[in-house]
Structure 1
């Protein structure tokens, strides 16, 4: 009736600007375009500055500029909180289109200033001195989509002193009013708080703002609030433990070079806030970011070290960075942990025991085993709450891995500000809605009454700001809400372990993968990166194995390329970040990634060449040493160039056994048998000797639409689709009745939200097949193998494929090259086989996982797209169960 809440909201908003008193305007700045845009740039020394005035615009895409001004701080401000207020413009919504800047105070990096952090508190002794303010501004990018210039207006630049009484009343009033809005309308605390706030704000004399009577009345209002709040006893069984955090994507809507600057801005802001708020505790994961800071801004890094030593800056998280956990190999995930924990131990003396992965798109079943063997006993994420169909039944539970290992797992349940989303967030703000909402959402209240709230603007937003810290102080005193206290994540997890150990309640176990029912398109987007990741994983493994062999043979570690390989591995690990390897970043990120992979490849190939020279003694052209870096005995083909000495003859192994070989053009194709695991075999060419000759027609017969090998009879139709694969040994048809294999299928790929991220379940409603077969030919036919080549056209795209069958192996390879030029279309290939199974077994890191082939429940059909890490033995993909989806 009296619009009390609306009235109070208006008065609190009006009070906000009165906090800053006797403001001194900075009407203009010296301006200098930063043409180079270098990482870690230092103050420019040129005298050729231009000028920019408050109210002017500055424009550009991914451009830097310097603003510089000097200001005299009045002596009479001695003892007051001196604050700068700066707003350099924002083009659109979100955290990605606003200005970002690093302020240098008197020539030294001081604080990040951006659209979420527009206040700068200067040192206590600034009164009576001249301050030199230099801002390095970055325009930002468009945040994805069509590249466009950003337009920013220099809106505000002034220095004032903070009226701490008005500031206190502003935040206290805001905290109480927000609490009133979320409490139950019948709650007694709600009525008491609303009445108290209204009574206090009635004391303010608005007749002449900025007058002595106005300031006096504000002090009276504040005293009333504080006195009455003290009388309201707060007893609440729940504690929300707040830890500051800035989730910095190492690359996403910006490039790696931008991340290095974001880290400098964000971390310097943390350091300044810690000076003002002694209770402030901040957590930063991803040692990659610390390494950037150590290299680019060593003075900031040393300040971080001091805060880590005193316990207020928590360097944790374990992994080198927040890596994707589905696409990288098990070896890579181990190295993520090994590289990350080593850095934390070396630079900060920290022994991290928890994995912090708030924003990764699903977690493979081998992860608990990897964690336990790495000394990690706790796992935290938030992203699983983004499931499309199903909410996980528990938020604190034991996650049991592939070998039975268990890690205590905790989900942060902070609600998103957008009430229409059921997602939880790792970029929380501290409001009554979040501190109450995190408890309301939590599903395991019987075993735990303390929750962890990670707060701070993330995804490049710069982290915690002063408002969050002020609000936390006040919410902790307001009845009707959980206790709101600060704390470290590692100490929270230790207490959680203790509670789980002592509880008499059942603690649930999740035995299986943590599949994210979202962002399924990230298994296929940016295929080049996924291919190069796997190629580098294998290359570096083989190079390291070669290094060990060299060291053992020569009894000398001095030539092992430690530094070279470690730097290469860091490139691999960096590009496994959960927005790089999944394919969910902007185009420029993949330009950088391509260069990085090329560098990593050069490192490994250079090391390989040097190491091989120390292993392989000089040998005749007729002798070849074949290495097998696999952990299994291997039989496979090698190709050996034909030389003057090896034009005609036979190949034999070390025991004198003749090897199956065929000269194909300018190469010999030799089938080398039973090369020992992690070992080698030597084969030799014997010229002019004649061996057993295998007639091609005895092994392979190829017609216009069918072929016969020692193992199969294969038929195809005029579309290039396989109509039959008859297995001679099993005496059965492999393909399902009436269905074809090797069917190239194209689906309309238009998801509801994120184009590069998502494949939605309805994509299957619109399907067409690639039927324009333009060519079929016999590419090669030898006594060892045969290759049939297919070529198709589809709209503006082309597809080339080699079907390879072997004499020595039952394997059939389909080597496919696709030049894809289509938009919003998804290409797949189908092999419907004649096997009935309700489960399919997929290889994953260090093992395998079974997934349903049916859609009985929402948990089943949610997995309509899944990922597999291929495992090979003897060069064969291991056949377990095969199923049609």
Structure 2
């Protein structure tokens, strides 16, 4: 054996680190109690020099009038007055411009860094004198602070430099400081960058130790930190350098002892600043937030050459393009370099529960076209980090829009059941799939804390297959994005992770990647996704269930606008065919769609923004109704020219429907069948179709009997509903249907939540003052009133038309409720409940391009958690041979528990909008009994007609002439009843080219294969194509000549969405 260097004797005494060493970590960074150690700690050494005197920092101020938000060109021309630190300004949401002139001492010009420290209590944006938006600032709270503006070297060299700073009286997450703001900091600073780097080193060691104190890695970090503190002493320059040296041999040499595990997977750290398009601030504030956030990221890219940043939402980019064109140009340059990465694929990060299927299609159409036209690329990743659950048709819609991947983190918010997957294949109703990923950190705005970073290892649900993960970091919700210290942290974590002591506790970090590269890597590691688990159907979020009900007026306007714009597109398309002088209003409709899509942002349409947002949105919606009505009237005029009879516009000519319409105090019946294809339907001779209803009013009981049903209202409740043909009572003995009220106090997130316990305590309300106001051959009407809560009242018009709403021979009559409510009760939930003599384990809920079946039982926690769910125009409870549907014209919150159907009507949260839903409301719902199971019935047709009633557009004074033929659809759908049409419109690019094309979007709605025929008459068709949602060719469809027209045969898979493009020669 060789000689040993181990000493023979030792008289010293040593022990491992005692607890006081760990306690010293905070003191070293913070100064101890009342700062008594401030001259000994690191924080005291972070500045070399700091000046705020008027010789070096001169400040002037101009306040924009009111709440206006002038752009730089206007603000820079104004007259400024002297100002200084400490000046107060406001109110909330106002904007103030500071002109700041800095005189940099000659001795500072060669220092490593010179910066302006600025804190105006809120958000701000620094401009150069020439108008370049350089960087955003935020000083409203320690959590979001970005106070340092590094003065570029080219500006330092001049000795004196002037900036304009737009200071907004808003915080990162809304109004702060009770509307009063002050200029708290305006200092010219030379930071001690070596001390800052030591601070970043030390904070990383400290957090790692605190995360895993009993591990080899944790103890190693504590030991190294202790050595650094000993070397620091009093923080003289050479001592700071010695402290850094104590750390650098270990932390600053990545790869020295690479562990094998680090080669297998990566945490893909991508910068991001989630900006809610509206939330606790309005759209105009978001425009400023976007510029502030993204300009800051361009500066970080200069400082960190490997850093990449990702954004979503075409709308926000368009705002920056229009309001900050110079900044937008710089963003595009970085996009070309692959560093400013656009993903998302949609116009905004929309809610996916409430918008119609066609609206979801248009989100992708407008979003992808914008991304491609401005950035030369189509998004392959569909990203919704923060939406409140995900519709079952999204995979198909996304795939038909060019996206193959999906990203979110929201399913981690489930309160009852843990969502089991991180990387998985999400399979939609039709079988389409998206390669999907949920961040293990369960955040889209990580601040790069060690626990958050380590969740990429500890919380990865599919690490056994592929442990790669996406880690989005940067301040979010109100924007801001990453700050330099976050990137400094990541580089140090990466260095530690590659050391042998890491032991797999820290993930390896990759900051120069992209979403596209991540998903490509995931495909490579999982056999193109085949090794990953699958999730079928909707991703129901077990939280935020009240988002189907809050802000009812906005939801009503959205439903009405979706229907109206579909009707306008249909009529305008037909008008452009019929009348060559009619110009299809493509530009106007594109603008209207963009605003509708904007208002479907998830925090707006869900009802979870603050009150100013809804004041603005209601004004927008009113303007949209007016614009659409104007186009509708012009199109109707072009179509109905030459009509000499009363006609009604039928926007659903492919459905079977009958409807009683009123005109000039008269009533008549219009009808349409798919075979007739009437777009302008004519009255029918209805007398032989109608048996007048009988009405018996005795005491507090009213009975209405038609030829198919009989309903009894007793004591203000529905106590009996009988199907006459089957002699079947539909209301269980001793139970009743009607309005119900619940105390609605969620445990948090007032506007977002309704709780399971809310629905356990029902107060049944009774209609009073029942009066028969009409009993004509065509219609029976009862009016009633109800006291609701302590301060609210409802009046209801209960009616039954004596003509069934469908042309099916077995169609039953429908009971309709038209309510007007004066709502002034907070924290109450108003519902309509209907118990039924029907036994079924599942109920059917209308959804985009299909339906969802959900359990009526509560066998498992997954079943029980679905106590409030989303549906569009109806929910249906059916057993073999019979069912009942509960229809609505603007509501979305449903549940069926056992045999009881419930429709949520109104609620009254107070946060974030104190006046949410207070005031006047109008809405309608209906009970529709039917023969057969849901898919055997005409419920879908009746619900569609209930939401899109015919409207009389032309009439003779006496309505007596029926001679002139009505205008018919030149394109008719002949099919099994499972095919429906979502949209008829002109091609998106027709107004840019000489082409004349028609787009028709159809879908299979019952979940089976089907064949449909499109019959075309009185048109010359050059060719027909199947296209995707972006209206790009997928395949050519054979055109078959048939007399003076053509027909197309179309095949559909289960729940398949098919878009046809017809090229016409006119």
- Report the TM-score when normalising by structure 1: 0.88
- Per the alignment, residue 462 of structure 1 pairs with 480
> Structure 1 205/148 Cα, relative in aligned 2: closer, same or farther at 3 Å?
closer
Deviation of the 1:878 alpha carbon: 6.0
> Structure 1 39/153 Cα, relative in aligned 2: closer, same or farther at 3 Å?
closer
Secondary structure in structure 1 of the residue aligned to 2:231: coil
- Per the alignment, residue 508 of structure 2 pairs with 483
1:708 to 705, 708, 718: 705
- Per the alignment, residue 545 of structure 1 pairs with 570
The count of residues paired between Structure 1 and Structure 2 equals 823
CA contact (8 A) 2:426 2:534 kept: yes
> Structure 1 698/738 Cα, relative in aligned 2: closer, same or farther at 3 Å?
same
CA contact (8 A) 2:108 2:114 kept: no
Deviation of the 1:167 alpha carbon: 2.2
- Per the alignment, residue 962 of structure 2 pairs with none
Deviation of the 1:89 alpha carbon: 5.2
- Per the alignment, residue 670 of structure 1 pairs with 669
Which range is displaced more, 104-113 or 441-450? Answer: 104-113
CA contact (8 A) 2:845 2:874 kept: no
CA contact (8 A) 2:313 2:347 kept: yes
Deviation of the 1:668 alpha carbon: 3.4
- Per the alignment, residue 467 of structure 2 pairs with 449
1:884 aligns with 2:900: yes
Deviations 1:131-178 (A, max 9, x none): 112211111169679x98333343222122333322222211211221
CA contact (8 A) 1:519 1:758 kept: yes
Secondary structure in structure 2 of the residue aligned to 1:458: coil
- Per the alignment, residue 472 of structure 1 pairs with 490
1:29-68 mapped onto 2 (5 Å cutoff): 29-39=59-69, 41-42=71-72, 44=75, 48-68=79-99
- Per the alignment, residue 25 of structure 1 pairs with 52
1:765-804 mapped onto 2 (5 Å cutoff): 765-771=760-766, 773-794=767-788, 795-804=790-799
- Per the alignment, residue 151 of structure 1 pairs with 180
Q: Is there any run of 5+ residues in structure 1 with no aligned partner, and where?
A: 91-98, 415-423, 642-665, 686-690
- Per the alignment, residue 562 of structure 1 pairs with 586
CA contact (8 A) 1:56 1:153 kept: yes
Deviation of the 1:766 alpha carbon: 2.8
Deviation of the 1:410 alpha carbon: 0.8
> Structure 1 782/631 Cα, relative in aligned 2: closer, same or farther at 3 Å?
same
Q: Distance in 1 between matches of 2:173 and 2:714?
A: 47
Q: Distance in 2 between matches of 1:789 and 1:851?
A: 35
- Per the alignment, residue 332 of structure 2 pairs with 305
Q: Distance in 2 between matches of 1:671 and 1:883?
A: 35
1:104 aligns with 2:127: yes
Q: Distance in 2 between matches of 1:100 and 1:695?
A: 68
Deviation of the 1:86 alpha carbon: 2.9
2:377 to 329, 346, 350: 350
> Structure 1 196/695 Cα, relative in aligned 2: closer, same or farther at 3 Å?
closer
Which range is displaced more, 70-79 or 856-865? Answer: 70-79
CA contact (8 A) 1:712 1:725 kept: yes
- Per the alignment, residue 170 of structure 2 pairs with 140
CA contact (8 A) 2:273 2:311 kept: yes
- Per the alignment, residue 733 of structure 1 pairs with 729
Q: Distance in 2 between matches of 1:162 and 1:300?
A: 28
Which range is displaced more, 426-435 or 288-297? Answer: 426-435
Which range is displaced more, 14-23 or 816-825? Answer: 14-23
- Per the alignment, residue 814 of structure 1 pairs with 817
- Report the TM-score when normalising by structure 2: 0.74
1:2-13 mapped onto 2 (5 Å cutoff): 3-13=20-30
1:650-661 mapped onto 2 (5 Å cutoff): none
Secondary structure in structure 1 of the residue aligned to 2:350: coil
Q: Distance in 1 between matches of 2:687 and 2:541?
A: 56
> Structure 1 203/150 Cα, relative in aligned 2: closer, same or farther at 3 Å?
same
- Per the alignment, residue 964 of structure 2 pairs with none
- Per the alignment, residue 223 of structure 1 pairs with 245
- Per the alignment, residue 683 of structure 1 pairs with 682
Deviation of the 1:244 alpha carbon: 0.4
1:580 aligns with 2:583: no
Q: Distance in 2 between matches of 1:841 and 1:820?
A: 30
CA contact (8 A) 2:544 2:753 kept: yes
Which range is displaced more, 189-198 or 249-258? Answer: 189-198
> Structure 1 493/39 Cα, relative in aligned 2: closer, same or farther at 3 Å?
farther
- Per the alignment, residue 194 of structure 1 pairs with 222
- Per the alignment, residue 240 of structure 1 pairs with 267
Q: Distance in 2 between matches of 1:684 and 1:632?
A: 16
1:182-331 mapped onto 2 (5 Å cutoff): 182-185=211-214, 187-206=215-234, 209=235, 214-229=236-251, 230=253, 233-235=257-259, 236-237=261-262, 238-331=265-358
Q: Distance in 2 between matches of 1:619 and 1:829?
A: 43
1:856-875 mapped onto 2 (5 Å cutoff): 856-870=859-873
Deviation of the 1:102 alpha carbon: 0.9
> Structure 1 371/482 Cα, relative in aligned 2: closer, same or farther at 3 Å?
same
Deviations 1:474-515 (A, max 9, x none): 1110132211121212211221122222688x5211112111
Deviations 1:287-342 (A, max 9, x none): 10001001111111111010101100001111111100100000001111111111
Q: Distance in 2 between matches of 1:352 and 1:134?
A: 36
1:105-124 mapped onto 2 (5 Å cutoff): 105-108=128-131, 109-115=133-139, 116-124=145-153
Deviations 1:338-375 (A, max 9, x none): 11111000000111111110100111111112222222
2:389 to 362, 386, 399: 362
Secondary structure in structure 2 of the residue aligned to 1:498: helix
Deviation of the 1:59 alpha carbon: 4.3
Secondary structure in structure 1 of the residue aligned to 2:209: helix
Secondary structure in structure 2 of the residue aligned to 1:203: helix
- Root-mean-square deviation over aligned CA pairs: 2.6
Deviation of the 1:80 alpha carbon: 3.3
1:437 aligns with 2:468: no
CA contact (8 A) 1:632 1:677 kept: no
> Structure 1 338/850 Cα, relative in aligned 2: closer, same or farther at 3 Å?
same
Q: Distance in 2 between matches of 1:472 and 1:29?
A: 37
Q: Distance in 1 between matches of 2:363 and 2:587?
A: 17
Q: Distance in 1 between matches of 2:686 and 2:661?
A: 19
Secondary structure in structure 2 of the residue aligned to 1:160: strand
> Structure 1 500/840 Cα, relative in aligned 2: closer, same or farther at 3 Å?
same
- Per the alignment, residue 746 of structure 1 pairs with 741
CA contact (8 A) 1:318 1:353 kept: yes
Q: Distance in 2 between matches of 1:853 and 1:684?
A: 42
- Per the alignment, residue 647 of structure 1 pairs with none
Deviation of the 1:280 alpha carbon: 1.3
- Per the alignment, residue 500 of structure 1 pairs with 526
Q: Distance in 2 between matches of 1:232 and 1:546?
A: 71
Deviation of the 1:540 alpha carbon: 0.6
Q: Distance in 1 between matches of 2:435 and 2:79?
A: 60
